[in-house]
Amino acid sequence: MNIKELIKAIKLIESEEEKLKSIGIDSYEQLETYLKEKGYQLSNSEIQFFYQYIKSNFNKQVIVDSYLQILQRMSTEDKFQTILLMNSNEIYFSSNRILSEEERKMALDYLDKVPNEERSKFIEIVSSIENSIKYINSNGKNKYLVMDAEIESAKKRDKRKDEKEEEKEKNTGTFLKNFALNLENPVDITIFAIKAQVTSDSIERKVNDEYLLRLLKIALPYLIDKEEKIHLEFLKKIGKIGKDVQDLDRKDVIDILVALAKEYESIKQKLSEIPSEEEKTNFLISIDNEYIKKSLLKTEIKSPLNRMRVIDSIDGEVSPELKEEVRLAQKMIFEFISDNSEGKFKAKAEEIQYMVFKGTDIIYDKDYNHPGVSQSVLDEIKMNDFKLEDKLYRLEILLHEYGHSIRAYSNRKNIGSAEEIEEGTQNIFAQEVINHYLKKHGSIELRGERLDAIYPVKVSNNYIDYESWMKTFMYLNESEGKDIDVLLSYEFGEEEKFINMVFGEDYGKKYLLDGTVLYYRMKKDDLYEANKERLKRINKKSKYYEDNSILQEFEKRQLPDVEEPNL
């Protein structure tokens, strides 16, 4: 019997089995007569197989054994062709007995010869999940096809389950996230997450690469939410799309982002093969993709001189309408940080400033519906003409958004943030920058006009409660003259230093995980317990006390000391 005869017999069994069970067949001749009366044209071997199956009391093992006997006479490639033939006839057998361990690996190498629409079912037969993960981690030649097939297979697998639609989607998503977490190469994890449209803090933490995380943060909100608009400016800026950006469909976007991840891996490989830092510097300068350049600068170039050469090759766009504001804001920030820092920290902070100033686009958009926003995935600050007549307000907004950009660049890879800490901090950052400049220069001039700014300026905002977090952090260190140090350590990613200043070394450990501060876990009770001594007598004259809801809450917790009676 050959494979085509077996398929014919199996199809016949599927259509006639229930009828034959009901009438009973006692001999080969009786079966032959029955089949002829039904109009079937079968060979003797096909009828013999059918009769053997009936005599086994319809035991499916007879079919499996016949299939295995046929496969034993075949070459490995013929086995793969046979599996495809069986799949096309909707006849499926597990690979555990069909293929050896070595053949299952060979099957994944064969995947590029399998028609695209058949790959997901083929991979279900020839590979286990563990085998596919192992193949991808060993950099198998078809690893990206294996990713596609496993993703498609997972989606089809859940569709076959009799469950509610949302439960199916949950099961698929959980499987795909776990699959991604079992991959080893950060580029492979990123590509799989983009293709599968899954994300989690665990995935981002395992990727732990600035450029790849940028791709994930650009791709996934758009790919997961059909209403979300992708940051097409990013794709335009790096020259991957032209003007007709709205013509891109989701597959186009996925293909572009996957290509960007592969390009990054290729550039990193080339960079690792360059022997001297001088040559690496020249290579980085030659790279067109500025986002890749910024990411690799952090990890590959150590010499301050070479780092500055790379930074000098980066040029951010500044809208003409904002050039004077940008020039002034940069001068104010530089003076504030330079005058309030020293040593290695000062050198680090000044370099980060320079990178942010050189590499951040400042875009004027009169139609934008918010006075300003820092988009860290794009390294862009966008502003509109809201309150155009109030030049001080406009400067405050720009300083606030620059604060976000500095913080984002300093802390790109860290996971975990809290809006109340971040937003309130940037208001205080803007306020401290302005007041430092006023104290130093006496006034602020913009386009030849002296702004209506009298020291001390209080930045107008909607984040009074949010500001209370950083105000409290700074208050705790004010008596030692380290309040500005707390603010700058937050801004410039000095995580351990910041936590130790706020909580102390022992209590602060709970907020550090693999060098990452998990701000979203920060609790007022922890802050209070760690600082009971410093909060024993709250100084209401401190500039950090006014409009500070957290300090005022802590004040209410303090009970007056009660003297022991004299006995």
Task: Return phi, psi of residue 303, to 5°.
Answer: -65, 125
In the block, tokens 């510097």 appear at 281
Cα distances (angstroms) measured from residue 111 to each of 129, 154, 346, 549: 15, 17, 55, 62
- What mean pLDDT comes out for the span 540-560? 87
Task: Provide the pLDDT confidence category of residue 171 given band limits of 50, 70 and 90.
Answer: confident
Contact 434, 459 (CB under 8 A): yes
What does the domain layout of the chain look like in residue ranges? 1-73, 75-184, 196-273, 275-314, 321-567
pLDDT in tens, 45-80: 888 888 888 888 888 888 888 888 888 888 888 888
Share the mean pLDDT of the chain.
86
Instruction: Specify the DSSP element, H or E, that contains 339.
Output: helix 323-339
Pick the more confident residue, 38 or 238: 38
- What mean pLDDT comes out for the span 359-379? 87
In the block, tokens 């009169």 appear at 366
Give the range among 161-165, 189-193, 262-266, 415-419 with minimum mean pLDDT.
Answer: 161-165
Q: Which two tokens stand for residue 402?
A: 């620059």
- What mean pLDDT comes out for the span 139-167? 79
Q: Is the pLDDT of residue 361 over 80?
A: yes
Cis peptide before 115 (omega within 30 of 0): no
In the block, tokens 């000044």 appear at 350
- What mean pLDDT comes out for the span 269-296? 94
427 burial type by CB count under 10 A (0-12 exposed, 13-18 middle, 19+ buried): buried
- What is the pTM assigned to this prediction? 0.81
Task: Provide the pLDDT confidence category of residue 333 given band limits of 50, 70 and 90.
Answer: very high
Task: Provide the pLDDT confidence category of residue 445 given band limits of 50, 70 and 90.
Answer: very high
Pick the more confident residue, 513 or 183: 183
Q: Is the pLDDT of residue 143 over 90?
A: yes
- What mean pLDDT comes out for the span 267-292? 95
Contact 132, 139 (CB under 8 A): no
- What is the gyration radius of the CA atoms in the chain, in angstroms? 33
Angstrom distance (rounded) from CA 328 to CA 321: 13
- What mean pLDDT comes out for the span 379-387? 82
- What mean pLDDT comes out for the span 102-126? 91
120-134: string of b/e by CB count within 10 Å (b at 16+)?
A: bbbbbbbbebebbbe
Q: Is the pLDDT of residue 407 over 70?
A: yes
Q: Which two tokens stand for residue 515?
A: 């060098």
Which residues fall within 8 angstroms of residue 410, CB to CB, at 6 or more apart? 352, 491, 492, 493
Give the range among 118-127, 346-355, 469-478 with minimum mean pLDDT.
Answer: 118-127
Q: In this predicted structure, what is the pLDDT of residue 82?
A: 85
Cα distances (angstroms) measured from residue 77 to each of 134, 241, 458: 22, 41, 76
Task: Provide the pLDDT confidence category of residue 343 given band limits of 50, 70 and 90.
Answer: very high
Q: In this predicted structure, what is the pLDDT of residue 270?
A: 96
DSSP 146-164: HHHHHHHHHHHHHHTS-S-
Which 3-state string (H, E, C) describes 396-414?
Answer: HHHHHHHHHHHHHHHCCCC
Pick the more confident residue, 266 or 516: 266
Q: In this predicted structure, what is the pLDDT of residue 148?
A: 96
- What mean pLDDT comes out for the span 305-317? 94
- What mean pLDDT comes out for the span 127-140? 94
Give the ranges where 141-237 is alpha helix by DSSP (H): 143-159, 165-181, 186-196, 201-207, 210-224, 232-237
Which residues fall within 8 angstroms of residue 28, CB to CB, at 6 or more apart? 47, 48, 51
Local structure of 321: helix, strand or coil:
helix
Task: Provide the pLDDT confidence category of residue 567 given band limits of 50, 70 and 90.
Answer: very low
Task: Provide the pLDDT confidence category of residue 237 given band limits of 50, 70 and 90.
Answer: low
Q: Is the pLDDT of residue 162 over 60?
A: no
Q: In this predicted structure, what is the pLDDT of residue 249?
A: 74
Percentage of residues in the chain with pLDDT exceeding 90?
A: 47
Amino acid, single-letter form, for residue 259: A
- The 10 Å Cβ neighbour count of residue 353 is 22
